[in-house]
Chain A
Amino acid sequence: MTANAMTQTAAPETSALDASVPGGVGDDARRPDGTLKVLGEFAFSSDLWAPDMLWGATLRSPHPRALIRGIDLTEALALPGVYAVLTHEDVPGAKLYGLEIQDQPVLAIDQVRYQGEPVAVVAADHPETARRAVARIAVDYEVLTPVVDAEAALGPGTVSVHPSGNLLRHVPIRRGDPAATAEIVVSGEYQVGMQDQAFLGPESGLAVPADDGGVDLYIATQWLHVDQKQVAACLGLPVDKVRLTLAGVGGAFGAREDLSMQVHASLLALRTGRPVKMVYGREESFFGHVHRHPATMRYELGASRDGQLVYLRANIVLDGGAYASSSTAVCANAASLGVGPYRVPNVVMDASVAYTNNPPCGAMRGFGAVQACFGYESMMDRLAAALDLDPVEVRVRNALATGDTMPTGQVVEGPAPVVQLLQLVASAPAAKAATGDPRELPGGVSNTTRGEGVVRGVGYAVSIKNVAFSEGFDDYATARVRLHLIGGSPAVLVHTAAVEVGQGLVTVQAQIARTELGVEQVTVATADTSVGNAGSTSASRQTYMTGGAVRAACIAVRERVLSRVGGSRLVAGTIVDDSGQPLVELVDVLRDGAVEETVQWRHRPTDPLDPITGQGNAHVQYAFAAHRATVDVDTELGLVRVVEIATAQDVGKAVNPRAVLGQIHGGTAQGLGLAVMEEIQLVDGVLRNPSFTDYLIPTILDMPTMHVDLLELGDPHAPYGLRGVGEPPTISSTPAIVAAIRAATGRPLTRVPVRPEHIVAC
């Protein structure tokens, strides 16, 4: 692992921090859940168990589009060991749910709109019994021709997937002169395939019926409160009778933003009066969550002969699939970030998302910015070629900087080190030459070449991503912090509803409490809905938002402690006055009682985008990353090996440097997957590869060594100056790798993932 950190400016808003306590902000503090995880004792949502527990299973539609003429449950109910078989008629509350638009049935009502749509659910005393009961449910389908092409869905003459029509959202961005002309014009059409989040821990949870008629749900999710609101609505229960507790989450990457089995397990538990556990297998998981939107993008760039961008025109069409999920927000991201981290005075951008009968698409790491980045970065390489300029140079000449204006009219505040990031990856040590070990060649252990036909290529890309929720959303997080004595020593309890998905939020919350309160012993309580809303673990926002809330609650606690004795600061467990003279020990103050504060914390408000011009200060923070990829390509077989990746990212402040590197390595790997291997294959709306045998994600053989440069340019508005880190690494790694393959092969490569036939095609 290579990592170089550079701190360019001091983090702003430094309060009276106590740096004497180890494990604070900026330390490589260890995960509090790490030991349980390596011992195999950490309780993931699929590991839960309760006395008298039943197992749930789901009947899913085999057809992408069909009418349901009848459902016969007789044979399923007759199977010994079966306790309940439920359909939409058994949903007591709202029968539709959804994050932005409530258009998705809890269980299909008279029709199905995608292959895998849940039709009925079963509870039985053994998972195999439940599966066999599912197989005995007889559904009479009238199969219809599915709508499977997003562009055709938006054209005339295509049947509507929903009564509202197939256009889910159109986001236009208009800036400058729409008829601008330029000396050099390049254009291209690009496509992005459907990527799966492929977290390792499939959807699962345990619903336990409660004495008050409500339900306690132990669940792996990304946002407890939005699940709670939706589940309660569907069950027809008041929100306070649906209590959620976070179970161990085996990765998320966007796939747990929407409901999966939450309502189903709760319905079965309330019907049977017994705890019900549901655990999807890998195949079902591919049907159980949304995917990354496939995209078709047409770009045209106009530039002066010296390589200055004059205009950008783009049309992006996203396939939203059968239900809305978060498609409307993904579309806004693709539009508002679709120009990339570049200064462009004249922009005509149109992004649209369509309903089809393909699997629903929604959130995945990068959220609309991934697709657009493949488009604009491919175009920048095309422009470089047209101008005979170095690909880094053409980017540097147009790079966004502080004070520049985005195509939405938003002025970029705070550091925007696009040039610096590009220069860092360009000047990183070159990838090592091949050692001759055949395992390091394309094809690897398959032993397909000894080096003949292998060509090396290098490619670059840079990306921009918004952090936290945008477009005027009231984005906040809540934290409860309690400072008390445990065993006679000061200790802190941090309680939020913010979801740890693996990224290390539990570590970061404890680090912030240590730094703000100078107390080493910090416990982060299990996240649940007994404390206020923390918002979603998505949009690279949780260290910023819940970290900000924990910090604010710690400051409130500290102020109360200080005010008890008229103190000025808290230093190493001692309260001191204005002149630094010790007044009293913290431990003595806490003998008068614990201090607890609950704080709601918001980022600066954002504005909606104007629906006609796309103008508006829609985003609260931008994050930037650059990648350089080096690949070896077997040009005869079309096999690619990524040899090395260099990346540079501004993280504002690395609250936990090791966790930051983990995000950068892991995010880059997911971008590599999209570049060369990962795609959900659909034929007429039917998913052909729902398994890890057929849907390939990068293994340790596929992922190269990385060189990472971290910049810590503080954002004056963010806690500790930090910048969201989770998503940018995923965004620019894909186009950098494809650019490297183009450099090696000379092929245009307009679609990801790149397949061998794209490389060897005659």
Chain B
Amino acid sequence: MRVTCTVNGQRREADGVWPGESLLYMLRERLGLPGSKNACEQGECGSCTVYLDGVAICACLVAAGQAEGRQVGTVEGLANGSGVHPVQEAFLSAGAVQCGFCTPGLVIAVHDLLARNPSPSDADIREALAGNLCRCTGYESILDAVRLAASRVAP
């Protein structure tokens, strides 16, 4: 089937999509956007977090066809062509990137958190990011990154 949707502000079409394909597969393998990662395929790890009509979701749990006619936002579109987004810069400043496999999903999740809650407490941050697994950092530098981003991102 053909799926037509808006991805990072651009109208995109994918042909030959199987009914069983996930939005994640379509983004990665058909639309040339491999920034969203597949680490569990069960919605447990958050590595594939993207926006669907402004709501952060796990792209592995959404069928590609469900994106028909909708707005998709991925990590590749976050900076909007202007270098890096302040959330991304905070991850770099805080040393919150090691292997980086969880990073795209976390960047979206933090972006989403700060849009809802510009000044989160540590407990708020932990609750909001509980669905994003990282195996490298022990999360300490990710907390630093969120605090830093919150101090830099205008509400």
Interface positions of A (Cβ within 8 A of B)? 1, 28, 30-31, 33-35, 37-44, 46-47, 126, 128, 197-202, 248-253, 279, 281-282, 437, 439-440, 445, 501-504, 658-659, 661-662, 664-670, 691-693, 697-701, 703, 705-706
Contact = CB atoms under 8 A, between A and B. Distances in A.
Contacts, number: 189
B146 to A, nearest CB: 10
Given A692-B40, A700-B132, 17 more contacts: A28-B95, A40-B34, A44-B37, A200-B133, A201-B99, A251-B101, A251-B135, A282-B42, A502-B100, A662-B137, A665-B138, A666-B98, A669-B139, A692-B133, A697-B135, A700-B129, A700-B143
A41 B32 CA distance: 11
A10 to B, nearest CB: 26
A46 B130 CA distance: 25
B35 interface: yes
Interface in B113-155: 123, 125-127, 129-144
Given A665-B140, A666-B98, A37 B42 contact: no
A281 B25 CA distance: 12
Interface string B83-119: 0100011011001011111111001000000000000
A125 to B, nearest CB: 11
A201 B129 CA distance: 19
B97 A198 contact: no
Which of B33, B107, B137, B143 has the largest count of A CB atoms less than 10 A from its CB?
B137
11 contacts: A41-B35, A42-B100, A44-B100, A440-B123, A445-B130, A502-B100, A662-B137, A662-B138, A691-B42, A692-B44, A698-B138
Contact of B137 (A42, A46, A250, A666): A666
A668 B135 contact: no
B39 A699 contact: no
Given A692-B42, A700-B132, A201 B101 contact: yes
Contacts of B45: 200, 692
A83 to B, nearest CB: 18
Nearest to A658: B95
Which of B36, B91, B97, B144 has the largest count of A CB atoms less than 10 A from its CB?
B97
Given A439-B123, A692-B40, A38 B135 contact: no
A673 to B, nearest CB: 9
B130 A502 contact: no
Nearest to B35: A40
A41 B102 CA distance: 13
Given A128-B18, A200-B102, A250 B39 contact: yes
Contacts of A439: 123, 126-127
Contacts of A693: 40, 42, 44
B99 A38 contact: no
Nearest to B103: A37
B114 to A, nearest CB: 15
A254 to B, nearest CB: 12
Contacts of B139: 665, 669, 698-700, 703
B99 to A, nearest CB: 3
Contacts of A43: 34
Nearest to B91: A38
Interface in B13-46: 18, 20-21, 28, 33-42, 44-45
A128 B130 CA distance: 31
B135 A199 contact: yes
Contacts of A38: 75, 84, 88-89, 91-92, 97, 100, 103-104, 107
A130 to B, nearest CB: 13
A510 to B, nearest CB: 15
Contacts of B143: 700
Given A1-B140, A666-B136, A250 B44 contact: no
B95 A502 contact: no
Nearest to B107: A38
Contacts of B40: 282, 691-693
Contact of B79 (A39, A197, A664, A666): A39
Contacts of A253: 135
A373 B131 CA distance: 31
A662 B100 CA distance: 13
Contacts of A658: 95, 141
A409 B132 CA distance: 47
Contacts of B47: 200
A440 B127 CA distance: 10
Nearest to B21: A128
A40 B95 contact: no
A201 B140 CA distance: 20
B39 A202 contact: yes
Which of B127, B132, B133 has the largest count of A CB atoms less than 10 A from its CB?
B133
B141 A661 contact: yes
Nearest to A699: B130
A668 B28 CA distance: 33
Contact of B35 (A39, A501, A667): A39
Contacts of A664: 138
A692 B126 CA distance: 19
A250 B100 contact: yes
Nearest to A42: B100
B147 to A, nearest CB: 10
Contact of B95 (A279, A659, A691): A659
Contacts of B36: 40
A35 B123 contact: no
Contacts of A670: 135
A250 B99 contact: yes
B21 to A, nearest CB: 8
A534 B117 CA distance: 47
A224 B18 CA distance: 36
B38 to A, nearest CB: 7
A503 B97 CA distance: 9
A30 B92 contact: yes
A741 B100 CA distance: 33
A225 to B, nearest CB: 21
A43 B130 CA distance: 26
The 8 A-B residue pairs whose C-beta atoms are closest, nearest first, are: A40-B35, A502-B99, A665-B138, A37-B100, A250-B101, A40-B75, A669-B138, A502-B98
B104 A40 contact: yes
Given A40-B36, A282-B40, A662-B95, A33 B135 contact: no
Interface in B27-85: 28, 33-42, 44-45, 47, 74-76, 79, 84
Contacts of A42: 100
A47 B141 contact: no
A440 B44 CA distance: 22
Nearest to B92: A34
A251 B37 contact: no
A331 B60 CA distance: 40
A47 to B, nearest CB: 4
Contacts of B79: 39
Contacts of A666: 98, 135-138
Given A39-B75, A40-B75, A200 B135 contact: yes
Contacts of B28: 47
Nearest to B85: A38
Contacts of B44: 691-693
A198 B141 contact: no
Nearest to A126: B18
A34 B95 CA distance: 9
Contacts of A502: 98-100, 136
B136 to A, nearest CB: 5
Contact of A200 (B41, B101, B141): B101
A204 to B, nearest CB: 10
B122 to A, nearest CB: 8
B103 A700 contact: no
A695 to B, nearest CB: 10
A128 to B, nearest CB: 6
Contacts of A501: 99
Nearest to B123: A439
A40 B74 contact: yes
Contacts of A699: 129-133, 139
B142 A35 contact: no
